[in-house]
Every structure is written in structure tokens, then in C-alpha cells.
Structure 1
Amino acid sequence: MGISFWKHHPYSDQNGHLLAQEAIDFQNTFQFDFLKLTSAGDWLAVCYGAGDELWENDSLGRRKITSFPLQETRDFYHLKSFSFQEKMLVEILDALRICCENVSVPVYVTIFCPLSQLIQISGIELFLKTAQKEPEAIHAALAVIIQNTKKTIDAASKVGVGGLYFVTQHMQTEILSLETYQQFGRYSDEICLIKASELFDSIIFHLHGNDCYACIAENIPKMSIHCAYSEVSTSNTQSIEKAGYPIIYGLAHHILSKANSFQDCKEILDNFPTSSFLTCDCVLPLNFPNEKINLWTNFVRSLS
């Protein structure tokens, strides 16, 4: 069994050197099987002009988008290709390069899928309105985002990144219907994932949220699905299991925190449907104790 955990670094995630150092320190402390650089979730949206605020004590270290560059439907037609002089692109690529140069395990870049990027820069209300009244505007915007995402994947590969942590925030019925995701998200994901499979050794597709469904193209090489583990099986859970990819179920931090001994770890894993990899459901809280991380890491190492 492999293991890796990650946290946000809200004091440092706007500066490549600081973010890299925190990520390297975290990796060196626990010696995980890979390092996932956990940049701010809106880092690519910021490159399109989204405004965000400083971290304000969110327990997971997340930032909040405060202004959307797309204000009306006609704006969807005017997204621009990245110049790669965008400040946040420069910072994150620099952080990835530093990490790759200073750790011996694979480094993963975190990239949100094109549909999630688009919703981050338009807001969900304008997106849904435009999708209903003028879907060609959605496709026009996604065409630009797809190309920018592919170029970002290529740039990450060139600095030494070995894996992609690909995130969708919207593959869940409480946000977008399966039909809407099929119409706009599935194809754009597929293009980016195929590009990533040509460059990286591994892809982890993270389905963010609870009771996600699987609207994913078939036969993407080198890919696993990562989603939260739930003891309650639903039709959405079954659709993920039928998608045909290895599944990495993540344990919620409140479950991980229950363990105080190797025996506790064993009892938790005895009721957990994975034997290949242990990680969290999304990201560990900032205050999740190091001693708990050490316990789980040492336990997993004891199994090999």
C-alpha cells in the first residue's frame, strides 16, 4: 500500500519559492510516495482575471473567488490564450520546478478541469444561464480553456512533473446534472487527459464532493479516480465503480483522526474498500496533527 497526504499552504501559495519550500518540508517530514503541489484551487482562474481574497481562516486553507472576469454571455467569446507571463502561472511553474529538483519522489501538478475553470471565472449562475440560452458561448470559452490547459500540462512536464492531479468540482448532481456535464465537461476533460497521458506517468482524477457521478471518457491511459469514501452506496457510487478505472477512495479527516494506534488503523482499514493506496478524501485540515500523519504513515510502511 502506498500513502500520501497534502495540505494547503495559505500563507505561501501566492509565491512559488515559498510554496515549494513548504511542500518540500512537508514531504521531507513524512516521506510520502509522491508530492502533490497543493496550489490555491483558483490559481488558473486568477490567470484569466478572477479576483480572490487573502486566506481568512478557512479550516482547509482555501481562498475565495471574489470577482468574476466573465460578467455576461458575450464575454465567453473573448477569453485569451495564456502568454505564460501571467503571474500565477509563473509562480506555480517555478514552485513545481523547485519541487522536482529537490525531492526524489514524483511530483504532481494540481489542475482543475476546463469546466470547473470556466465556472470559477463566470460563477455558477451565469454559467447555467448561458448553457441554457446560448450553449455555443460555453463551447467557445471551453475551446480556449482546453488549449490553455493543454499548454499548462506541457509546461509542467517540461519542468519535471511526473503526474497530474486533475480536479472537477462539478461532477455532482447537487451542482450540475449528468446531462449538463455530458454536454460540456466530458469532451473537454478527455482532450486534456489524453494530453496528460502522453506526458505523465500517472493521472489521478479527483471527483470533488459527496455522491459524485462518473461522467468520464473510457480508456484514458495511466488514470485512477480519487473520490471520498462513503459507507452508503448510491447509484452515483455504482457509476464510479463501473467507469473502468482503479479507484482511490480517500478517508475523511474525522475518520483518520480516530486512530491512536496501529490496531486502530488496522480496524479502520479492515472496513475500507481499498488496498492499494491511502490518502485523504480531499485535503487535510491545516490543524490536522502531525502525530496522526506519522501514525498512519508508519502503519502503512509496516504493511510492506
Structure 2
Amino acid sequence: MDISFWKHHPVSDQHGYQLAQEALAFQNTFQFDFLKLTPAGDWLAVCYGAKDEVWENDPVGRRKITSFPLKENKDFYNLKNFSFQEKLLVEIFKALQICCTQVKVPVYATIFCPLSQLIQISGIDLFLKTAQTDPEAIDAALDVIIYNTKKVIEKASEIGVKGLYYVTQHMQPDILSLEIYKQFGKSSDETCLLKAADFFDSIIFHLHGNDCFACISENIPKLSIHCTYNQIQTINSKSIEESGYPIIYGLPANTLSKVNNEQDCKEILENFPLNTLLTCECVLPLDFPNEKINFWKKACK
């Protein structure tokens, strides 16, 4: 079984060289089976004009969006194709390139799905209002975001990235209904994932949150679904099980942290549905102890 964990690197995640050095130091400490570069989750939204100046000491290192570039319906029609001179785009590609040249294991890029990117630049309230009153505006914005996301995928492959960690934050019913996702997100995800399958050796589709749903088609090569394990069987969790894809259940941070030795890890692993990868449910807390990562690595190997 492979193992890989990752952390955010707030402050450093705004600068390519510094982000790469932190990611490489973490990888060199533990020698995971792959390195996932973890930029700020809104890094592509920032390239459209979102502002995220604030990191408010979030325990896992997330930054807070402070200003949305889309203010009204008409703004959805005015998104532009990336020039690839956008500052943060340049920095993250620099970090990816450094990592690809410095490690022998595969490097994974983190890319949020088009629908999540759009909500990051509009805010959920404006998105839902526009979806109801002017769905063509949503489609127009998604067309541009899909194009840009596919270009990001291509360019990441060109510099040596071997895997994709593809993220949705909104496939959960307390944020978006399944019907809204099917209307606006399903085809955009399938388009980007099929594109990624042409360029990468592996794709991990991370469904962020609890009780997420899955409804993508079953013909996307190289794809695994990564999600939180929901011990209570629901319609949504059943949809993931029936998706036709391998499932990677990430261990929650509170489960990962309560171990004190390798035997504790083994006892948890015996009762947890694992596939080919041992990892966290999303991202490790910034203060997660190194010795506990070592317990898990030894138990896994």
C-alpha cells in the first residue's frame, strides 16, 4: 500500500521557490510514495482577480477570500483566458517545476474543478442567484474556466507533473443540490478529467466535505475517488460506492492523531476500509506531529 500525506504552507504558498522548498523538506523527511504540491486552495481563483490577503491562523493553513471579482450577472460574461503571466500562476508552476526536478517519486498538482473555481470568484450567494436568474451566464463563465483549466493541465504535464489531485468543495447537499451540480458541474468535471487522463498517470478526485455525492460517468481512465469515510450509510455515500471507481477513504485528522505507537495504527487499519493509498481525509493540520506520521508510515509499510 502506498502512503502520502501533505500540509498547506501558508505564507510560503504565495511564492514558488519557498513553497517548493517546504514541500521538498516535508517529502525528504518522510519519503512518501508521491509528493502532492499543496498551494492555497484558491490559487486559480486569485488568477481571475479574487483577493485572499488574509491567513487568519487557520489550523490547517487555509487562506480566506476577502474580495470576489464577480459582483453581478454581467461579470460572468467577462472572464478572460489566462495569459500564463498571472503572478500566482507563474509562482505555482515554478514550485511544480522545482519539485519535479528534485524528487524521484511522482509529483501531483492540485487543481480545483471549474465549478469550485467559479464559486470562489463569485461567492456562493451570487452563484446561486445567477444560476436561477441567468443560467447562460454560468455557462459562459464555465466555458472560460474549463478552457483555462485544461491549459493548466497541459502545461503541468509538460514540466513533468505525473498526477492530478482534482478537488471539488461543493458536491455536498448542504452547499449545492445534486440537481444544480448535474446542471453546471457534471459535464465540466468530466471534460477536465478526461483531458487529465490524456496527460497524467493517475488522477485523485477529492470530494471535500462530509456526505458528498458522486455522479460522474464511469468511463474516465486512471481515476480514483478520495473522500471522508462516512460510517452511516446514506444515499450520497452509496452513490460513491456505486460510482464504479476505486475509493480512497482518507483517515480523519483526529483518528490519525490519537495513536501513540505503530500498534495503535495497525489496530485502526484493521477496521478501516482502505484501498491502495493511506492518506488523510483532506490535509494534515499544520501542527501535526512528525512522530505520528512516522508511526503511520511504519504501520503501512
TM-score (ref. length: structure 1): 0.98
User: Within 2, Cα distance between the matches of 1:297 and 1:34?
Assistant: 13
Matched, 1:266 2:250: no
How does 1:160-199 map onto structure 2 within 5 Å? 160-199=160-199
What's the offset of the Cα at 1:232?
1.6
Which runs of 5 or more residues in structure 1 are unaligned? none
Aligned-pair Cα RMSD in Å: 0.7
Matched, 1:97 2:68: no
How does 1:79-94 map onto structure 2 within 5 Å? 79-94=79-94
What's the offset of the Cα at 1:258?
1.5
What's the offset of the Cα at 1:262?
2.0
User: Within 2, Cα distance between the matches of 1:224 and 1:214?
Assistant: 12
Name the structure 1 match of 2:139: 139
What's the offset of the Cα at 1:102?
0.1
Name the structure 2 match of 1:236: 236
User: Within 2, Cα distance between the matches of 1:226 and 1:237?
Assistant: 12
Give the count of matched residue pairs: 301
User: Within 2, Cα distance between the matches of 1:41 and 1:117?
Assistant: 9
Matched, 1:63 2:91: no
User: Within 1, Cα distance between the matches of 2:275 and 2:74?
Assistant: 49
User: Within 2, Cα distance between the matches of 1:51 and 1:277?
Assistant: 35
Contact 2:263 2:299 in 1 (8 A): no
What's the offset of the Cα at 1:275?
3.9
User: Within 1, Cα distance between the matches of 2:230 and 2:191?
Assistant: 30
> Can you list the C-alpha shifts for 1:113-166, whole angstroms capped at 9, x where unaligned?
000000000000000000001101000000000000000001101110000000
User: Within 2, Cα distance between the matches of 1:275 and 1:17?
Assistant: 34
What's the offset of the Cα at 1:234?
1.2
User: Within 2, Cα distance between the matches of 1:7 and 1:80?
Assistant: 31
Q: Which runs of 4+ in 1 moved over 3 A?
A: none
Amino acid at match of 1:207: L
Name the structure 1 match of 2:209: 209
Residue identity over aligned pairs, in percent, reads: 73
Contact 1:226 1:249 in 2 (8 A): yes
Amino acid at match of 2:64: K
Of 265-274 and 72-81, more deviation after overlay is shown by 265-274
How does 1:32-47 map onto structure 2 within 5 Å? 32-47=32-47
Name the structure 2 match of 1:128: 128
Which runs of 5 or more residues in structure 2 are unaligned? none
User: Within 2, Cα distance between the matches of 1:70 and 1:183?
Assistant: 20
TM-score (ref. length: structure 2): 0.99
Name the structure 2 match of 1:115: 115
What's the offset of the Cα at 1:230?
2.3
Contact 2:54 2:66 in 1 (8 A): no
Amino acid at match of 1:222: K
User: Within 1, Cα distance between the matches of 2:180 and 2:55?
Assistant: 32
SS in 2 for 1:189: helix
User: Within 2, Cα distance between the matches of 1:82 and 1:71?
Assistant: 20
Contact 1:181 1:215 in 2 (8 A): no
Name the structure 1 match of 2:148: 148
